[in-house]
Amino acid sequence: MITKWSAKIEDKQHIVEVRYGSRVIVDLVAMEAGELLVDDRLVERWDSSIWGPPKEICFQIGNKKAVLRRRGILHQNLELLVPGLKVTRIK
């Protein structure tokens, strides 16, 4: 699964992308390893877990602090938070 967001910081458009996969194991959904990229640069990578992506990942977009947060367990809803900025989900 791929989820993307766009954020404009100091007149520059940044793309944040999360890539991870899923598979079924003995009637439980386990999320495979994944990665977080900013402008096509790897920021964070995680291993496979039954809980999916980490609950929260703190990182930088340009000179701004950002947080990727997982809401819930069942549907793996992800949100990107950048204080003081509007973030647009692309995909």
Q: What is the 3-state secondary structure (H, E, C) of 14-71?
A: EEEEEEEEEEEECCEEEEEEEEEEECCEEEEEECCECCCCCCEEEEEECCEEEEEEEE
Q: Has residue 86 got a pLDDT over 70?
A: yes
pLDDT in tens, 5-55: 999 998 899 999 998 876 544 444 455 678 999 999 999 988 877 776 788
Structure tokens at 72: 């819930």
Task: Give CATH for domain 2-89.
Answer: 2.40.128.180
